[in-house]
Amino acid sequence: MSKRFSDKIALVTGASRGIGAAVAKALAAEGAHVIMIARSVGALEEVDDAIQNAGGTATLVPMDLTETDAIDGLAAPLLERWKKLDILVGNAGMLGKLTPLPHYDPKLWEDVFRLNVHANCRLLRALDPLLRQSEAGRALFVTSDMAGQHKHYWGGYSASKLALEEMIRTYAAEVSKTNLKVNLIDPGPTATKLRLAAYPGEDQTTLPTPEDRAHLFLNALAEDFTDNGTLIRQTA
């Protein structure tokens, strides 16, 4: 029986843990070859071991996406090996610090925007030609309900996610007459390290796991999902 993502080439950022790792494993289990990007080599190898043990395949790309110039080098080897990219999942993100805006460390503020916004812009710049080579390219970027809420102390994270949303919706409009579909996803409260850093007193055993959320991503990355420029939101 053919798997849902057989012969698809997928790239997932922040793939060493949490939602990124869960989505990478789920895509691989459904037949995709997954290119996994994250800073930690050891953690990527653990995810790769799990994928291989389940019969899937992956390529590991250890990379610090805050070093945005390095992103430009992604396209050439992907073009040479696969000629296309079917799926892009922009999952890597940084919380920064929950603090009043006047107290925000300038370098940390820049790092938050560098990962949450600028890295995704550079990914689009590098990978747009490859996504357009796919018969049904899909790009999905992770946002949060904190975008636009103006909640005390969340300024860095919420502002970066709001900027991401505007950027991705603009890109979606620009590719609207192609086979490429570009969307945003808010997976809702999930038991991740980022969530734990934001809510250290929360009992994470009461929250859905990253694996629980992976199906939301796969549904939005499937060929039969033809929305473009939308925000898929899980509220509970």
Map residue 59 onto helix, strand or coil.
Answer: strand
φ/ψ of residue 196, rounded to 5:
-65, -40
Given 104, 157, 171, 199, the catalytic residue: 157
75-to-19, 47, 132, 190, 208 alpha-carbon distances in Å: 24, 23, 13, 32, 35
CA–CA dist 161, 164 (Å, integer): 5
Is residue 165 within 8 A of residue 184, CB to CB? The reply is yes
Please return the burial class of 111, using the count of CB atoms within 10 Å of its CB with bins 0-12, 13-18 and 19+: middle
Please indicate whether residue 157 is annotated as part of the active site.
yes
Annotated catalytic residues are 157
